[in-house]
Structure 1
Amino acid sequence: MRGDTALVTAPIAVPRRIGTSDLRVFPIALSGTVFGWTADGPTTTSILDRFVELDGGFIDTADSYAGGRSEIMIGNWMRERRNRDSLTIATKVGKSPDHPGLSAPAVRAAVAASLRRLRVSHIDLLFLHIDDTAVSFDETLLAVDELIRAGDVRYFGGSDHTGERLLEARIAAGQLGVAHMVALQKHYNLVHRDEYEGDLARVSTQLDLGVLPRFALAAGFLTGKYRTRGDLERERRGAEASRYLNRRGLRVLAALDRVASETGTSVATAALSWLLSRPRVVAPVVSVSDPGQLDAVMAAPRTPLGRHHLTELDRASE
């Protein structure tokens, strides 16, 4: 899954299909992680407005983000802008303290609560936020299928599952005759490759899953703003990025600097463009704290990287 299998990023931001679903999205998903937490109401509104101005339409949140406030803020914004029909909305269930786990009652209650907070009639893409091994896949899958048949959910995917567990879920869905997963959201970026590449990548291809990498910019490290210990100390999210400030991380940033310079773009754009070149990747899930950060993010699908650039980034991140 290294350089020889990478595809050159398309120069035009053509919508990408999520797995076997009929959902086609701009190749960047906006994360609602910070909404209601580090981003207040006006900032959240500004971020969402700018995202749509830049052709974005895929928003990813969870019932556990900011205790549900992320969903509320997104829902209020959609109601005010009257733009629900032009958006693809994804949320996750399983981690909320109000409806923890993936038992049938928990899944049904969590989805009902998310629908109320989002103020929508249906969720386009529902993620199982955890792999709840205390509950049989049969119970969870039957509950999700019930929601799909009722029109509350269109499609669903996994988030914290191993390749083996994804295969188990597909087999169970086939035996039950119910809907199966169409997507996988997983930690994946230039400085965090091993968790996905290998078994998960193989299974995602085998099951025809659309892959949505989360932590796509490595807590801001792949924007290039963390290069010294002093940089980490000055930023709120520095602690999260500190794990990457090592010899390998700095080698990756040096390669990104060269690629960004040669392509006339930014480090963040180059990092996301690399990610978009990977097999099965549909849309990296990216969080921003300021609307001005979106320009570099949204430029990634429109920024072609030559094979020599992709190879250089592959080698630097090995």
Structure 2
Amino acid sequence: MTRIGHSDLDVFPLNLGGNTFGWTSDQDTSFAVLDAFVVAGGDFIDTSDSYMASIPGNSGGESETVLGQWLAARGRRDDVVLATKVSRHPDFLGLAPDNIARAAEASLQRLQTDHIDLYYAHYDDPSVPLEETLGAFDSLVRDGKVRYLGISNYSPERISEWLSICEANNFAKPIALQPHYSLVVREPFESTLRPLAEKFDLGVMPYWALASGFLTGKYRTQADVDGAARSRIVDGYFTTEGLAVVDELAIIAVTRGMEIATVALAWTRQQSTVVAPIASARVHGQLDALIASVDLELSDAELHRLDTVSALVTTN
């Protein structure tokens, strides 16, 4: 287990992504994934109020709804650390104080719970004074509806401003940072965001830690990419340099008797400030490779090999 920042949240070092729930995983499949995750010792689940509003036929909140149904059916609320986000739901866009309050209430209803353990600002909203946004988040903490706060997709300058405002106003300080980070997208996290995580004691939960499936080795030819649910995203990684990373992962995976995804997540987990990489499983059978990464300790030589080949990747 790993502690998040200065909080008392001690979590499994793999954060199960809920973006597939209500999208590529129907309710029964989602329940099976969640059941298997907690049986394996997992207790940390990440979602957003906007998942998956972008899918035709969805309106947003589908993932939270499935999670809430699972929590109610299984009676597991006290057994999990639940993270969700605000600012991108079509009905609750932005970070104005009244919007944050209404969005939080909607998330609580969908999740069928009276509190959110970790509540992220999903994306910055420059149209609202940051002090007003943080005041609204602080009110949620003081009211007991949110235990801790997190930051996702903010610039280094805005993160520093966030902490300064908290200090000046005695607002609840964030404990977590959720950046885009993986073996094929190492910047800007390593040069500009990780130093802030170290300075402000922010536990890091990288999203797209498997690069939307690219770092599982499932996309080795253009034919593999064409027609995939995440083809638009994966296309950005499908380069000579990106494939070289997958090749190196495959060599280590064979030597270790592990899956490629297991090695990729282990590399991410072993990076400074990282608490728990976020990875999702569309079906129950994909979980084993993810869970195995928690106990895999790559050697210094293996880490160096992956550092070297991934440094050549220029995707962002």
Tell me the TM-score normalized by structure 1: 0.94
Bigger mean CA offset, 255-264 vs 145-154: 255-264
Aligned length: 304
User: 1:237 deviation in Å?
Assistant: 2.2
Letter in 2 for 1:237: R
Aligned to 2:17: 31
Could you tell me how far apart the structure 1 residues matched to 2:35 and 2:170 are?
A: 41
Could you tell me how far apart the structure 1 residues matched to 2:234 and 2:13 are?
A: 24
Aligned to 1:311: 304
SS of equivalent residue, structure 1 residue 135 = coil
Q: Deviations over 1:295-316 (max 9, x none)?
A: 0001101011110000000001
Could you tell me how far apart the structure 2 residues matched to 1:96 and 1:229 are?
A: 33
Letter in 1 for 2:20: V
2:188 to 177, 190, 195: 195
User: 1:80 deviation in Å?
Assistant: 0.6
User: 1:289 deviation in Å?
Assistant: 0.9
SS of equivalent residue, structure 1 residue 214 = coil
User: 1:105 deviation in Å?
Assistant: 0.1
2:47 to 58, 61, 72: 61
Could you tell me how far apart the structure 2 residues matched to 1:236 and 1:100 are?
A: 25
Contact 1:32 1:60 in 2 (8 A): yes
Contact 1:26 1:283 in 2 (8 A): yes
Could you tell me how far apart the structure 2 residues matched to 1:209 and 1:302 are?
A: 23
- Structure 2 unaligned segments of length 5 or more: list them: 53-59, 312-316
User: 1:175 deviation in Å?
Assistant: 0.6
User: 1:141 deviation in Å?
Assistant: 0.9
SS of equivalent residue, structure 1 residue 243 = coil
Bigger mean CA offset, 254-263 vs 305-314: 254-263
Could you tell me how far apart the structure 2 residues matched to 1:55 and 1:128 are?
A: 28
Aligned to 1:146: 139
2:226 to 213, 224, 233: 233
User: 1:195 deviation in Å?
Assistant: 2.1
Q: Deviations over 1:92-148 (max 9, x none)?
A: 001111111111101100001100110101000000011111111110111111110
1:270 to 243, 263, 279: 263
Contact 1:226 1:238 in 2 (8 A): no
Aligned to 1:6: none
Bigger mean CA offset, 308-317 vs 40-49: 40-49
Could you tell me how far apart the structure 1 residues matched to 2:87 and 2:238 are?
A: 32
User: 1:262 deviation in Å?
Assistant: 1.7
Confirm whether residue 184 of structure 1 aligns to residue 177 of structure 2: yes
Confirm whether residue 98 of structure 1 aligns to residue 91 of structure 2: yes
Could you tell me how far apart the structure 1 residues matched to 2:166 and 2:124 are?
A: 16
1:251 to 225, 244, 247: 244
Letter in 2 for 1:87: V
Could you tell me how far apart the structure 2 residues matched to 1:44 and 1:244 are?
A: 27
2:5 to 19, 23, 32: 19
SS of equivalent residue, structure 2 residue 153 = coil
Could you tell me how far apart the structure 1 residues matched to 2:155 and 2:62 are?
A: 29
Could you tell me how far apart the structure 1 residues matched to 2:51 and 2:250 are?
A: 33
SS of equivalent residue, structure 2 residue 89 = coil
Confirm whether residue 158 of structure 1 aligns to residue 157 of structure 2: no
Letter in 2 for 1:71: E
Could you tell me how far apart the structure 1 residues matched to 2:183 and 2:191 are?
A: 15
User: 1:239 deviation in Å?
Assistant: 3.0
2:34 to 20, 32, 48: 48
Could you tell me how far apart the structure 2 residues matched to 1:232 and 1:72 are?
A: 30
User: 1:234 deviation in Å?
Assistant: 5.1
Contact 1:99 1:106 in 2 (8 A): yes
RMSD value over aligned CA atoms?
Answer: 0.9
Aligned to 1:4: none
Letter in 1 for 2:236: R
User: What's the % identity of the aligned pairs?
Assistant: 44
Contact 1:71 1:118 in 2 (8 A): yes
- Counting only pairs closer than 5 Å after superposition, residues 290-301 of structure 1 correspond to structure 2 as 290-301=283-294
- Counting only pairs closer than 5 Å after superposition, residues 129-140 of structure 1 correspond to structure 2 as 129-140=122-133
Could you tell me how far apart the structure 2 residues matched to 1:314 and 1:276 are?
A: 14
SS of equivalent residue, structure 1 residue 272 = helix
SS of equivalent residue, structure 2 residue 21 = coil
Question: Cα 1:171–1:44, aligned 2, differ >3 Å: closer, same or farther?
Answer: same
Q: Deviations over 1:14-62 (max 9, x none)?
A: x011111110100111111111122111111111111112111111111
Confirm whether residue 121 of structure 1 aligns to residue 107 of structure 2: no
